[in-house]
Amino acid sequence: MFYIGIMSGTSLDGIDLVLVSFTPQPKLISSLLHPFPTELKQQLQQLSQPGNNEIELLGPTEQQLAQCYAAGVAALLARANFTASSVAAIGCHGQTIRHRPDGPYPFSMQIGDMHKLAMLCQIPVIADFRRKDIAYGGQGAPLVPAFHQAVFQQAASHRAIVNIGGIANVTLLAAELPVMGFDTGPGNALMDNWVMHCQAKPYDENGEFCSQGQLIPEMLSAMLADPYFLKSAPKSTGREYFNLQWLQQFHPEHYKAADVQRTLCHLTAQSIADSLRGSKIQQVYVCGGGVHNPVLMADLASLLAESTVSSTNVLGVDADWVEAIAFAWLAWAFQHQITGNLPEVTGASKACVLGVAYLP
């Protein structure tokens, strides 16, 4: 049977959809980037920050998001010339609008009406992957390390898988050691925020804006002193923390805009490299949108000079689709009653089968 994975991340650059089979290794059949309608994207951005009358905005936004996911599924099936009846389940991450794992009442909220998605697609949907881990004392994130372990681990290799989306996370796959993983901090989120602020562009295509700037050492040092970077794992974060408001404390208006962008790029690379320092990692494989920023990749290669740095493409898994495949895998794992979290990663008190089934 085949599975569909749906992932829309914190960068809000669109909806990643994949059609895959598992044997148990994943085989990518087809993939699609489905855009957000402008109004829906604006509503999701608004819900990602505290505001007024959020419940009145949340209700209709969930419905529109389900419709958008369903349109993406229909387009994916049409592209692959598949029918809904050939798909065992959809694994849907939903859209994170708030991630607060460290308060007195920890929570992580992903929205999207999954009943409506199942009804529109006439395919079972497996969703709500994070809250069970949180119920058992975990961070609810990152969830991809269990998938990375299943797909990328090799007995004699010391590898790290680095996902650079809006937020960056690492999975350490060191031979004969427990798998470790956590959010390192901002991935593309701050760079996207800043280029939107300065140039009204959703992202810095090919790192062009970044490449025009120079590193600001004093700003970088001040940023790296943030308590999040000094915190021990397990840890996770989101755009509600690393955003323009966070950046303002470092007075970016005092510098050239391109220099700030260059510094934000190096911040992402430095925080990733620092997280790998002292480990036995020899190979670093990058996935997510960050692989398309040559300045960021060059920074990583320079900071991790003792390791080889490449994309997951060389391992046979397209770097653009790793996360979407991971949520298809979580749906497969749910149906096969395979645990989807790693307690040593999230801090949960037990390994759990993650997800909730929504039937058409």
pLDDT at residue 155 is higher than 90? no
DSSP 3-state helix, strand, coil percentages of the chain (rounded to 5)? 45, 20, 35
**DSSP symbol at 327:** H
Q: In angstroms, rounded to a whole number, what is the distance separating the alpha carbons of residues 239 and 100?
A: 11
User: Any idea what DSSP says for residue 125?
Assistant: E
> Domain 2-140+321-358 in CATH: superfamily?
ATPase, nucleotide binding domain (3.30.420.40)
Write out pLDDT tens, residues 105-128. 999 999 999 999 999 999 999 999
Was 346 annotated as part of a binding site?
A: no
Q: Mean of the per-residue pLDDT values for the chain?
A: 96
Distance between start and end Cα atoms, the chain: 18
The answer to whether the annotation marks 338 as part of a ligand binding site is no
Of residues 9 and 207, more confidently modeled? 207
| Residue 11, marked binder | yes
Tell me if 4 is assigned to a ligand binding site.
Answer: no
The pair of three-digit structure tokens given for residue 18, joined into one six-digit string: 């994949």
- How confident is the model over 33-66, as pLDDT tens digits? 999 999 999 999 999 988 899 999 999 999 999 9
What is the pTM for the complete model shown?
Answer: 0.95
- Report pLDDT digits (tens) over 191-244: 999 999 999 999 999 999 999 999 999 999 999 999 999 999 999 999 889 999
Instruction: Tell me the pLDDT tens digit for each residue of 239-265.
Output: 889 999 999 999 999 999 999 999 999
Whether residue 126 is annotated as binding a ligand: the answer is no
10 annotated to a ligand binding site:
yes
Residue 278, pLDDT above cutoff 90: no
Asked if residue 9 belongs to a known ligand binding site, the reply is yes
* pLDDT given at position 176: 83
Residue type, 27: K
Annotated ligand binding at 13? The verdict is yes
User: How far is Cα 279 from Cα 59, in angstroms, rounded to an integer?
Assistant: 45
pLDDT in the model for residue 325: 98
Q: Which CATH superfamily is domain 144-315 in?
A: ATPase, nucleotide binding domain (3.30.420.40)
Q: Do domains 2-140+321-358 and 144-315 have the same CATH topology?
A: yes
Task: Give the residue extent of every domain in the chain.
Answer: 2-140+321-358, 144-315
